[in-house]
Amino acid sequence: MSIFSSGQIWAAVDWGADSYKAFLIKKGNLVDTKAGEQGVLKVEDQAFEVTLRQLIDSWLSAHGEFPIILSGLVGAREGWVEAPYIHTPCSSVEIQGGVVTVPTNQLKNVFIVPGILHTGEDYPEVLRGEEVSIIGAIKEQALSDGWILRPGEHSKLVRVAEGGVSLLSTYITGELFKLLDQYSSLSRHSGIEQKTSSIDFMTGVRTALKSGCLSKVLFSSSTRRLVSQIEAEHVSSYLSGLLIGHEFRDLKSMGLDDIVVVGSGQLMELYQLAFDELSIKTTLLDSDRAYLSGAQLILESLGVDS
Amino acid sequence: MSIFSSGQIWAAVDWGADSYKAFLIKKGNLVDTKAGEQGVLKVEDQAFEVTLRQLIDSWLSAHGEFPIILSGLVGAREGWVEAPYIHTPCSSVEIQGGVVTVPTNQLKNVFIVPGILHTGEDYPEVLRGEEVSIIGAIKEQALSDGWILRPGEHSKLVRVAEGGVSLLSTYITGELFKLLDQYSSLSRHSGIEQKTSSIDFMTGVRTALKSGCLSKVLFSSSTRRLVSQIEAEHVSSYLSGLLIGHEFRDLKSMGLDDIVVVGSGQLMELYQLAFDELSIKTTLLDSDRAYLSGAQLILESLGVDS
């Protein structure tokens, strides 16, 4: 029985280190969202239940009890209840099987989704939070074999084989961009409001594609401005292109030529430009849709009444 | 006539964006140094002469007038007087020829050394400040052909051909380390005082040497700690190894097997470990010695009485 068509009410909360995003589903429709800075690292004295009730207070007042699916750092060692990592290769069913029921006082039916651990040849790889969107994307695309990329602060690349997760990489592309754009010498002399330039973004992508060494190529943000090859107001666009180009150089080195991208917003337009440059075919899937599709799949597997 | 043997008094100031380091030479000996945070970007209303006098006030009181060689951002567009870049390929003599005499009110014989601009195939490269040490290293090592590396916030690699500078690269390795170690998610959960571990440093070097993608490999700082492959107190050492390993991967790709390294302090011991791993033969030259040797060469070329 599909919960989307059942008239039930349920919620899903992507509860990360520094922020949260919550979704309320009623009769199969997304009826409300909430988002804020109340991340897991800001919850003191393990007051997770109280905090969660505050975050979705108006929903509880209006609807009473309903099942809640939690994902993200909330299920890590430093979170509410640890949901141990599921090891690759793993299917959606195995991930669903690792869902942990949270012991609560006033709330009922609170569940935490486990992360995924990949023991690589050189070092381990993990994701926690993104597994919900990944499950959703596999379902939405009826994907048996292929690649999924979920860009963000930490961009996650997942290899799908036989409908499950077989390989996993993390690119800290978004976080590097924020650090360099806010704090580094590459941008500090500009002090000029930045405008998006897809031309300079693509110059950055192409420059990075030619060089394997990010710590070398990054300095070109300074030198190109110095000799007026880029305007001061376009340094951020160029820097973004360098970082995404560096990530894409690695994607291309794996030989992938077809990818499902889970994302939304203006950044996806820039990603699309870069994928076109590399002649990689992309299917774009809205990140909220992928997340809710995955959360629904998990809820169905739990067989909970609400 | 060598100024080191002449009994003259002179000073050299490496005056960068965020800090300065000043050297006083008397009868060929280094007799005093001063250093502080009064970088070029903190000088307001072009008050460079007043600021310089304050920085070396006690030296002026004790010795009266003496020639002063300035290098670094002080000679850039945003500095005191612009000393235009000398283009590669360039000899030490050509760099000396680009020295600019600063118009002053109370001080006499103040000179600014020009930077070097390399018009690369893909993007330009520059250095400003490091040229003094480079000239000094070429002289000290009687180097006709070879490579010089000057590690730092921005690590500079110089190809020396026919005794001059023919090629130039900048790795922002040190700056990336500071940003990631201070502000990133890779280190924020530790909150633990860091201890130097050469073993974890070398694990970082070897991990980076295997991977061309820095934004991917950096995340292993988090995951190795998560699965206890490195201790929380050694995350900074591992991170440093990843960044230096990434830089060295690029050095190795150029086929260089013999290098002059201009530097000092504990970091040089770690660099030496990484060079040994790559079987690159190194000659270590103290950075102050290289700087003063270069500054002396410049002063001699100016033919100034002091």
Question: Which of helix, strand or coil describes residue A145?
Answer: coil
Per CB-CB distance under 8 Å, the chain B contacts of A253 are 212
Tell me how far the alpha carbon of residue B306 is from its chain's centroid. 28
Whether the CA torsion B189, B244, A124, A274 is positive or negative: it is positive
How high is the pLDDT of residue B301?
Answer: 92
CB of B142 closer than 8 Å to CB of B65:
no
SS (H, E, C) B201-230: HHHHHHHHHHCCCHHHHCCHHHHHHHCCCC
Q: How far is B169 from chain A (nearest CA, A)?
A: 7
Question: CA A166, CA B256: separation in Å to the nearest integer?
Answer: 38
| Residues on chain B touching A223 (C-beta within 8 angstroms) | 123-126, 170
Mean pLDDT of chain A: 93
User: For residue A190, what pLDDT is reported?
Assistant: 63
Vertex A95 angle, CA A92 and A98, to 5°: 155
A93–chain B nearest CA distance, Å? 25
pLDDT tens sequence across A282-299: 999 999 999 999 999 999
Instruction: Please give the average per-residue pLDDT across A207-234, as a whole number.
Output: 95
Angle in degrees, CA A262, A266, A272, rounded to 5: 60
- C-alpha–C-alpha distance, residues A7 and A30, integer Å: 12
| pLDDT band of A156, cuts 50, 70, 90 | very high
The residue type found at B160 is: V
Query: Which residues of chain A have a CB within 8 Å of the CB of B153?
Result: 185
Residue A195: pLDDT over 70: yes
* Share of residues in chain B with pLDDT > 70 (%): 96
* Percent composition of chain A: helix, strand, coil (DSSP 3-state, to 5): 40, 25, 35
Which residues in chain B are contacts of A241 at CB distance < 8 A?
Answer: none
Q: Is A117 helix (H, G, I), strand (E, B) or coil?
A: strand
The per-residue pLDDT for range A230-265, each reduced to its tens digit, is 999 999 999 999 999 999 999 999 999 899 999 999
Nearest to B186 by CA among B158, B143, B219, B162: B219
Are B219 and A176 a contacting pair at CB < 8 A? no
User: What's the confidence (pLDDT) of residue B305?
Assistant: 53
- Locate the chain A residue with the closest alpha carbon to B118: A223
Residues A150 and A133 sit within 8 Å (Cβ to Cβ): yes
Minimal Cα distance from B248: which residue of A? A213
**CB atoms A184 and B183 under 8 Å:** no
**Which chain B residues are within 8 Å of A175, Cβ to Cβ?**
184-185
Q: Which residues, in sequence order, are CB contacts of A228 under 8 Å at separation 6+?
A: none
pLDDT of residue A5: 41
When CB atoms are compared, the residue of A154, A185, A226 closest to B175 is A185
**d(Cα A60, Cα A49) in Å, to the nearest integer?**
13
A5/chain B closest Cα distance in angstroms: 40
Residue A210 has pLDDT above 50, yes or no: yes
Q: Which chain A positions have a beta carbon within 8 Å of B246's beta carbon?
A: 213-215
Sites in chain B below the pLDDT cut of 50: 1-5, 306
Give the start-to-end residue ranges of the domains of chain B. Answer: 3-142+289-302, 173-286
Instruction: Give the whole-number percent of chain A exceeding pLDDT 90.
Output: 90
* pLDDT surpassing 60 at residue A68: yes
d(CA B16, CA B37): 9
Check pLDDT > 50 for residue A30. Answer: yes
Sequence-distant (6+) residues with CB within 8 A of A29 are none
Find the CB nearest B216 among A17, A222, A250: A250
- List pLDDT tens digits, range A109-144: 999 999 999 998 899 999 999 999 999 999 999 999
The CATH number that domain B173-286 falls under is 3.30.420.310
Contacts of A214 in chain B (CB under 8 A): 213-215, 246
Place of tokens 């800090």: B19
Q: Do B122 and A78 touch (CB under 8 A)?
A: no
CB contact under 8 A, B207 and A154: no
Count CA atoms closer than 13 A to A306's CA, side-chain side.
Answer: 27
Count Cβ–Cβ pairs < 8 Å, chain A vs chain B: 136
The alpha-carbon gap from A184 to the nearest alpha carbon of chain B, in Å, equals 8
Contact B142, B114 (CB under 8 A): no
∠ CA A198-A204-A206, nearest 5°, is: 105
Q: What residues in B contact A219, CB-CB < 8 Å?
A: 125, 154, 170-172
**CATH number for region A171-286:** 3.30.420.310
A9-142+290-301 — its CATH code? 3.30.420.300
Which CATH number describes the domain made up of B3-142+289-302?
A: 3.30.420.300
Q: Which residue is closest to B173 within chain A, CA to CA?
A: A215
Task: Enumerate the β-bridge partners of residue B259.
Answer: B282
- Type of residue found at B12: A
Judged by CB atoms closer than 8 Å, whether chains meet at A180 and B179 is answered as yes
pLDDT at B189: 62
